[in-house]
Amino acid sequence: AEFGDEVSMAFESVEGRDFKPLAKEEAILLQHELLQRYRYSPFQMRLKDLEASHGRGTPALSVAVDELCMEVQAHVLPKYGLPTGQDGLEGLERALVTLDLDDEVCAVSNEVRLALGRLPRRKAEVELAATEEKEGGGMFDWGSLGVREADSIRQALVEYVFGGVSCRIFQQPISRDTTDAEATSSELWPAGLALAKYLEFNVTTMGRDSPAGLSVLELGAGTGLAGLSARALGARQVMFTDLKAALPWLRQNIALNERLGEDRAGG
Protein backbone atom coordinates (compact mmCIF):
# COMPACT_ATOMS: atom_id res chain seq x y z
CA ALA A 1 0.00 0.00 0.00
CA GLU A 2 2.83 2.38 0.80
CA PHE A 3 4.49 1.76 -2.59
CA GLY A 4 1.14 2.33 -4.32
CA ASP A 5 0.69 5.66 -2.54
CA GLU A 6 4.14 6.83 -3.69
CA VAL A 7 3.39 5.95 -7.30
CA SER A 8 0.01 7.70 -7.24
CA MET A 9 1.61 10.84 -5.80
CA ALA A 10 4.26 10.81 -8.52
CA PHE A 11 1.66 10.81 -11.25
CA GLU A 12 -0.52 13.39 -9.53
CA SER A 13 2.49 15.71 -9.27
CA VAL A 14 2.54 16.16 -13.05
CA GLU A 15 -1.20 16.07 -13.66
CA GLY A 16 -1.62 19.82 -13.56
CA ARG A 17 1.34 20.63 -15.78
CA ASP A 18 0.89 21.55 -19.41
CA PHE A 19 2.63 18.94 -21.55
CA LYS A 20 2.38 19.05 -25.32
CA PRO A 21 0.07 16.26 -26.58
CA LEU A 22 1.82 13.84 -28.91
CA ALA A 23 0.36 12.81 -32.22
CA LYS A 24 0.58 9.11 -33.06
CA GLU A 25 3.38 9.67 -35.59
CA GLU A 26 5.36 11.71 -33.05
CA ALA A 27 4.94 9.04 -30.39
CA ILE A 28 6.24 6.34 -32.74
CA LEU A 29 9.21 8.46 -33.87
CA LEU A 30 10.09 9.34 -30.28
CA GLN A 31 9.96 5.70 -29.20
CA HIS A 32 12.06 4.59 -32.18
CA GLU A 33 14.70 7.19 -31.35
CA LEU A 34 14.84 6.02 -27.73
CA LEU A 35 14.96 2.40 -28.89
CA GLN A 36 17.95 3.05 -31.14
CA ARG A 37 19.85 4.63 -28.25
CA TYR A 38 18.86 1.90 -25.77
CA ARG A 39 20.14 -0.79 -28.15
CA TYR A 40 23.53 0.92 -28.46
CA SER A 41 26.24 -1.44 -27.11
CA PRO A 42 27.65 0.93 -24.42
CA PHE A 43 24.13 1.43 -23.00
CA GLN A 44 23.49 -2.33 -22.95
CA MET A 45 26.81 -2.89 -21.17
CA ARG A 46 25.82 -0.39 -18.48
CA LEU A 47 22.44 -2.11 -18.21
CA LYS A 48 24.13 -5.47 -17.60
CA ASP A 49 26.38 -3.89 -14.97
CA LEU A 50 23.28 -2.62 -13.16
CA GLU A 51 21.70 -6.08 -13.31
CA ALA A 52 24.86 -7.56 -11.78
CA SER A 53 24.90 -4.93 -9.03
CA HIS A 54 21.23 -4.83 -8.06
CA GLY A 55 19.93 -8.25 -9.10
CA ARG A 56 17.66 -8.95 -12.04
CA GLY A 57 14.02 -7.93 -11.57
CA THR A 58 14.47 -6.17 -8.22
CA PRO A 59 12.85 -2.84 -7.27
CA ALA A 60 16.36 -1.38 -6.83
CA LEU A 61 17.21 -2.31 -10.41
CA SER A 62 14.02 -0.67 -11.68
CA VAL A 63 15.00 2.62 -10.01
CA ALA A 64 18.57 2.42 -11.33
CA VAL A 65 17.38 1.73 -14.88
CA ASP A 66 15.01 4.71 -14.72
CA GLU A 67 17.95 6.92 -13.74
CA LEU A 68 20.06 5.51 -16.59
CA CYS A 69 17.23 6.11 -19.06
CA MET A 70 16.95 9.74 -18.01
CA GLU A 71 20.46 10.34 -19.37
CA VAL A 72 19.32 9.11 -22.79
CA GLN A 73 15.94 10.82 -22.65
CA ALA A 74 17.61 14.17 -21.98
CA HIS A 75 18.80 14.12 -25.61
CA VAL A 76 15.42 13.12 -27.05
CA LEU A 77 12.43 14.42 -25.05
CA PRO A 78 13.04 18.18 -25.56
CA LYS A 79 12.66 17.65 -29.33
CA TYR A 80 9.06 16.68 -28.63
CA GLY A 81 8.23 19.44 -26.17
CA LEU A 82 8.84 17.40 -23.03
CA PRO A 83 11.16 18.30 -20.11
CA THR A 84 14.10 16.21 -18.95
CA GLY A 85 14.63 14.31 -15.69
CA GLN A 86 11.84 12.80 -13.61
CA ASP A 87 9.34 15.34 -14.94
CA GLY A 88 10.13 14.18 -18.47
CA LEU A 89 9.74 10.51 -17.55
CA GLU A 90 6.33 11.16 -16.01
CA GLY A 91 5.37 13.60 -18.75
CA LEU A 92 6.12 11.00 -21.41
CA GLU A 93 3.73 8.55 -19.74
CA ARG A 94 1.03 11.20 -19.59
CA ALA A 95 1.66 12.33 -23.19
CA LEU A 96 1.20 8.72 -24.36
CA VAL A 97 -1.85 8.09 -22.22
CA THR A 98 -4.38 8.41 -25.06
CA LEU A 99 -2.17 6.56 -27.56
CA ASP A 100 -1.05 3.42 -25.73
CA LEU A 101 -4.20 1.57 -26.76
CA ASP A 102 -3.15 1.97 -30.40
CA ASP A 103 -1.62 -1.30 -31.65
CA GLU A 104 1.32 0.37 -33.44
CA VAL A 105 2.24 2.62 -30.50
CA CYS A 106 1.87 -0.27 -28.06
CA ALA A 107 4.11 -2.50 -30.21
CA VAL A 108 6.90 0.10 -30.32
CA SER A 109 6.53 0.78 -26.60
CA ASN A 110 6.99 -2.92 -25.92
CA GLU A 111 10.13 -3.00 -28.08
CA VAL A 112 11.52 -0.23 -25.88
CA ARG A 113 10.59 -2.11 -22.71
CA LEU A 114 12.18 -5.27 -24.10
CA ALA A 115 15.43 -3.42 -24.83
CA LEU A 116 15.48 -2.42 -21.16
CA GLY A 117 14.91 -5.98 -19.98
CA ARG A 118 11.41 -5.17 -18.81
CA LEU A 119 8.17 -7.05 -19.11
CA PRO A 120 6.15 -6.14 -22.22
CA ARG A 121 2.98 -4.23 -21.38
CA ARG A 122 0.05 -6.42 -22.31
CA LYS A 123 -2.77 -4.63 -24.07
CA ALA A 124 -5.33 -6.28 -21.80
CA GLU A 125 -3.70 -4.62 -18.79
CA VAL A 126 -3.68 -1.24 -20.50
CA GLU A 127 -7.36 -1.61 -21.41
CA LEU A 128 -8.17 -2.64 -17.85
CA ALA A 129 -6.38 0.41 -16.47
CA ALA A 130 -8.29 2.57 -18.93
CA THR A 131 -11.73 1.31 -17.93
CA GLU A 132 -11.54 0.37 -14.25
CA GLU A 133 -12.46 2.97 -11.65
CA LYS A 134 -9.55 3.48 -9.25
CA GLU A 135 -9.18 5.67 -6.18
CA GLY A 136 -8.28 9.12 -7.46
CA GLY A 137 -7.04 7.63 -10.72
CA GLY A 138 -9.62 8.86 -13.16
CA MET A 139 -9.95 7.10 -16.49
CA PHE A 140 -6.26 6.23 -16.87
CA ASP A 141 -4.81 5.03 -13.58
CA TRP A 142 -1.22 4.55 -14.73
CA GLY A 143 -0.02 4.59 -11.12
CA SER A 144 -1.95 1.43 -10.33
CA LEU A 145 -0.84 -0.15 -13.61
CA GLY A 146 2.76 0.65 -12.71
CA VAL A 147 2.34 -1.04 -9.32
CA ARG A 148 0.95 -4.18 -10.93
CA GLU A 149 3.82 -4.25 -13.43
CA ALA A 150 6.43 -3.67 -10.71
CA ASP A 151 4.89 -6.53 -8.78
CA SER A 152 4.91 -8.93 -11.72
CA ILE A 153 8.34 -8.11 -13.14
CA ARG A 154 10.23 -9.50 -10.15
CA GLN A 155 10.16 -13.04 -11.56
CA ALA A 156 9.54 -12.16 -15.19
CA LEU A 157 13.01 -12.33 -16.75
CA VAL A 158 15.06 -15.49 -16.23
CA GLU A 159 18.29 -16.75 -17.77
CA TYR A 160 19.58 -20.25 -18.53
CA VAL A 161 22.86 -21.39 -20.06
CA PHE A 162 23.03 -24.27 -22.54
CA GLY A 163 26.32 -25.32 -24.08
CA GLY A 164 27.92 -22.13 -22.79
CA VAL A 165 25.30 -19.93 -24.51
CA SER A 166 22.88 -17.79 -22.50
CA CYS A 167 19.12 -17.94 -23.17
CA ARG A 168 16.92 -15.27 -21.57
CA ILE A 169 13.14 -15.55 -21.46
CA PHE A 170 10.23 -13.57 -20.12
CA GLN A 171 7.66 -15.53 -18.20
CA GLN A 172 4.58 -14.60 -16.20
CA PRO A 173 3.98 -16.96 -13.27
CA ILE A 174 0.27 -17.77 -13.21
CA SER A 175 -2.11 -18.22 -10.34
CA ARG A 176 -2.63 -21.87 -9.43
CA ASP A 177 -6.34 -21.04 -9.18
CA THR A 178 -6.63 -20.01 -12.83
CA THR A 179 -9.26 -21.70 -14.98
CA ASP A 180 -7.84 -20.32 -18.23
CA ALA A 181 -6.01 -23.16 -20.00
CA GLU A 182 -4.33 -20.77 -22.45
CA ALA A 183 -2.72 -18.85 -19.57
CA THR A 184 -0.36 -21.76 -18.96
CA SER A 185 1.71 -20.78 -22.00
CA SER A 186 3.16 -17.74 -20.22
CA GLU A 187 4.99 -19.77 -17.55
CA LEU A 188 8.01 -22.06 -17.91
CA TRP A 189 7.03 -25.50 -16.65
CA PRO A 190 9.50 -28.07 -15.20
CA ALA A 191 8.98 -30.37 -18.19
CA GLY A 192 10.15 -27.62 -20.57
CA LEU A 193 13.34 -27.07 -18.61
CA ALA A 194 13.89 -30.84 -18.34
CA LEU A 195 13.62 -31.17 -22.14
CA ALA A 196 16.13 -28.34 -22.68
CA LYS A 197 18.59 -30.01 -20.29
CA TYR A 198 18.03 -33.36 -22.01
CA LEU A 199 18.99 -31.80 -25.35
CA GLU A 200 22.12 -30.33 -23.76
CA PHE A 201 23.04 -33.73 -22.33
CA ASN A 202 22.73 -35.32 -25.78
CA VAL A 203 24.98 -32.66 -27.31
CA THR A 204 27.71 -33.09 -24.68
CA THR A 205 27.57 -36.91 -24.88
CA MET A 206 27.06 -37.02 -28.68
CA GLY A 207 23.73 -38.77 -28.07
CA ARG A 208 21.24 -39.71 -30.76
CA ASP A 209 18.84 -36.89 -29.77
CA SER A 210 21.35 -34.07 -30.23
CA PRO A 211 19.74 -31.13 -32.09
CA ALA A 212 23.09 -29.97 -33.53
CA GLY A 213 22.84 -29.42 -37.28
CA LEU A 214 19.16 -30.36 -37.44
CA SER A 215 15.95 -28.46 -38.16
CA VAL A 216 13.80 -28.44 -35.04
CA LEU A 217 10.03 -27.93 -34.68
CA GLU A 218 8.72 -27.16 -31.18
CA LEU A 219 5.00 -27.86 -30.77
CA GLY A 220 3.16 -26.01 -28.01
CA ALA A 221 6.28 -23.93 -27.41
CA GLY A 222 4.91 -21.71 -24.62
CA THR A 223 7.86 -19.59 -23.50
CA GLY A 224 9.98 -21.23 -26.23
CA LEU A 225 12.84 -22.34 -23.97
CA ALA A 226 13.19 -25.83 -25.46
CA GLY A 227 13.44 -24.48 -29.01
CA LEU A 228 15.76 -21.68 -27.94
CA SER A 229 18.02 -24.17 -26.18
CA ALA A 230 18.12 -26.26 -29.36
CA ARG A 231 19.24 -23.18 -31.30
CA ALA A 232 21.88 -22.43 -28.66
CA LEU A 233 23.08 -26.03 -28.95
CA GLY A 234 23.64 -25.80 -32.70
CA ALA A 235 20.31 -26.53 -34.39
CA ARG A 236 20.39 -25.31 -37.99
CA GLN A 237 16.96 -23.71 -37.70
CA VAL A 238 14.07 -23.77 -35.23
CA MET A 239 10.35 -23.30 -35.79
CA PHE A 240 7.96 -22.57 -32.92
CA THR A 241 4.19 -23.19 -32.76
CA ASP A 242 1.52 -22.56 -30.14
CA LEU A 243 -2.02 -21.28 -29.66
CA LYS A 244 -2.77 -17.70 -30.68
CA ALA A 245 -2.92 -16.51 -27.05
CA ALA A 246 0.67 -17.67 -26.51
CA LEU A 247 2.21 -15.91 -29.52
CA PRO A 248 2.90 -12.46 -27.96
CA TRP A 249 5.06 -14.02 -25.22
CA LEU A 250 6.70 -16.39 -27.69
CA ARG A 251 7.55 -13.60 -30.16
CA GLN A 252 9.09 -11.49 -27.38
CA ASN A 253 11.31 -14.37 -26.25
CA ILE A 254 12.43 -15.14 -29.80
CA ALA A 255 13.29 -11.46 -30.33
CA LEU A 256 15.17 -11.36 -27.03
CA ASN A 257 17.36 -14.24 -28.22
CA GLU A 258 17.67 -13.37 -31.91
CA ARG A 259 21.49 -13.50 -31.75
CA LEU A 260 21.69 -17.08 -30.41
CA GLY A 261 23.14 -18.53 -33.61
CA GLU A 262 25.60 -15.64 -34.00
CA ASP A 263 26.69 -15.91 -30.35
CA ARG A 264 27.46 -19.59 -30.76
CA ALA A 265 29.42 -18.91 -33.92
CA GLY A 266 31.33 -16.11 -32.20
CA GLY A 267 29.62 -13.38 -34.29
**Pairing outcome for strands 157-162 and 215-218:** unpaired
Tens digits of residue pLDDT in 152-173? 444 467 888 998 898 988 876 6
Find the largest Cα–Cα distance for the chain: 66
Whether the per-residue pLDDT at 225 is higher than 70: the answer is yes
Tens digits of residue pLDDT in 53-70? 877 666 677 788 888 888
- Say how far apart CA 155 and CA 173 lie, in whole Å: 8
The pLDDT score that the predictor gives to residue 100 is 65
Domains recognised in the chain with CATH numbers:
24-147 (no CATH), 150-256 (3.40.50.150)
Q: Which residues contact 167 (CB under 8 A, 6 or more apart)?
A: 159, 160, 161, 225, 228, 229, 232, 257, 260
